Homo-oligomer: A and B are copies of this chain.
């Protein structure tokens, strides 16, 4: 045996690069079965994990204690020394022009470059456009070493399917798509993930796996965009979308999407990755971009609609307004790319007496809008108008206490709201 075949299950030495929403749960789970270390270039993240604080609320204190005891997390790159499998789990955002920003993936590959030995394997979990995994590895590894893909080093791609705040669909029970640059490396990828994940789906190529991941989020984006387009179309006809959807949903195959702002780190981002690559090769992505465009315009449309509703209730710009929910999604502390924050900011320009509340608020946000952020929900009666932006469980029974106050309900959450999206 020689080459990559030398990496057998017993001598896997795994590095996870990026300890965020994807990397930390993967580290936490895989360390129970393998020799794994975790690297994050952000010392603050490592610090807080060492202080047993996971701001993403994915990993409990007892598990964090175990990780610390093992001394396997660090912001010092030297922790990667001696590894033979590198798993990259870093964010892949877009830049200000909505183009793929692969800087963090490239940084990770450049970090790996410093330690990469002959026959090592790099697995990417981040969402990228089809072809990017091989493209980046060639640009960084092949260009800076005399290593050649599938001869001296190997690639795997296994897209993460982490759903923030979703406890039912978790890393263990969600089928994981895996792929690799050749049979031998696929075998290693399979051996690794199958140890702690119940169902794997082997994609026939890295490009198929990359494509499969990106279309999952595009499909959601377009479906929400359609409902958003319809919502404002029917608003113009004075037909309430909430009740239309209630009727449509009684059909066996109607898909239960709701109107709303599309934030977060995936659905609003991934379409740009595929559209970018489509443009590069001269393929069309009209529908993908039409959907994205609609969802992008939603903040303005919702903001105008809220202002219109406040006017309808004969309130002035001096009205006392309560804005409920700032995360991008309910019941999780994920503020990444949250359009609810931007909506709140835009309303803040118009209404002086607007307060926002979110049970998951962290310190950095609290400081930014200090005067307008509530730490606790008290004295609800003082408000003239309420905007429900996120359906956190904590807000579920709130409508009982505010029955006299008009609510603009962006989430169809309360029973008898005055205004719905």
Contacts and interface: CB of A to CB of B under 8 A. Distances in A.
Interface of A: 130-131, 161, 169, 174-175, 177, 199, 201, 203-205, 207-209, 211-213, 215-216, 218-220, 222-223, 225-226, 229-230, 232-234, 236-237, 239-240, 243-248, 250-255, 274, 277-278, 281-288, 290-291, 293-294
A212 B287 contact: no
Nearest to A252: B169
Given A201-B250, A236-B278, 5 more contacts: A130-B237, A207-B237, A208-B240, A229-B285, A286-B290
A202 to B, nearest CB: 9
Contacts of A286: 229, 290, 293-294
B208 A283 contact: no
A239 B253 CA distance: 29
Given A222-B226, A223-B223, A288-B229, A282 B236 contact: yes
Contact of A237 (B131, B175, B212, B248): B131
A284 B232 contact: yes
A1 to B, nearest CB: 31
A230 B215 contact: yes
A278 B223 CA distance: 19
Q: Which of A175, A232, A247, A282 has the most CB of B within 10 A?
A: A247
A211 B244 contact: yes
A232 B274 CA distance: 13
A308 to B, nearest CB: 15
Contact of A203 (B130, B223, B247, B281): B247
B222 A283 contact: no
Given A203-B243, A286-B294, A251 B208 contact: no
Contacts of A177: 247, 250
**A-B interface, 4 closest residue pairs, ranked by CB to CB distance from nearest:** A212-B247, A175-B250, A236-B283, A233-B283
A203 B241 CA distance: 12
A144 to B, nearest CB: 27
Contacts of A169: 252
Nearest to A235: B283
Contacts of A215: 230, 244, 248
B283 A216 contact: no
10 contacts: A174-B252, A177-B250, A208-B247, A215-B244, A216-B254, A220-B253, A232-B283, A236-B278, A237-B281, A290-B290
